[in-house]
Amino acid sequence: MQKLTFLMLMVFGFIVSCNESPDISNRTEDIIAIKQNIEDYATGWDAKDLETVLKGYSNDVDWTNAFGDRVQGKEELRELLEIIFSLDFVMSGKNNYKRPEINFLTNKIALVRSTNIRTGQQWPDGSAMNDRVINHLRVFEKRDGTWLCINHMISQAHDKEGN
């Protein structure tokens, strides 16, 4: 019986030691840093400023846009964004980001959901596109004291006509 109790305590201790519980008592600085990262992304996007967009991503970022284009690594992302930024019809319009929802999974990992309602974008022929509801799901990791986006998936909610 003592051996079984001892074994159960060992297993319980192992499980507890493996689970990194987030310290949510004071996340103010972390929240500010993550929100700044997202704001820099939006500001850089509006200005077609690659360096501002890219500065908050890790070198090994995994990024997928609303059209299913997936790139891995900051350099691949740079190449894709250079193309996207050169397309005037894609860059037309205005971003309207809503407040992000930030959930800390551990002390060093955060899951962030945000929504952007993009208005005034155009189709390639120059005709007006309906407003687009674009959802962003980002995973941030705190590396060497800095919150970096390591995974960013963008999806688009379509209206009833499929636009």
Minimum mean pLDDT range among 1-10, 45-54, 117-126, 149-158 = 1-10
Q: How far is CA 47 from CA 19, 57, 62, 94, 137, in A?
A: 42, 18, 23, 11, 22
Is the per-residue pLDDT at 23 higher than 60? no
Please state whether beta strands 146-157 and 57-64 pair in parallel, antiparallel, or not at all (unpaired).
Answer: parallel
Amino acid identity of 78? Answer: R
pLDDT at position 159 is 58
Assigned CATH class of 25-157: alpha beta
For 148, the token pair is 């970096």
pTM of the predicted model, to two decimals? 0.78
The structural domains of the chain, with segments of one domain joined by +, span 25-157
Q: Which helix (H) or strand (E) holds 145?
A: none
Q: What is the C-alpha to C-alpha distance for residues 139 and 154, in angstroms, rounded to an integer?
A: 12
Q: Which tens digit of pLDDT belongs to each residue from 77-119?
A: 999 999 999 988 777 888 888 889 999 999 999 999 999 888 8
pLDDT at position 6 is 38
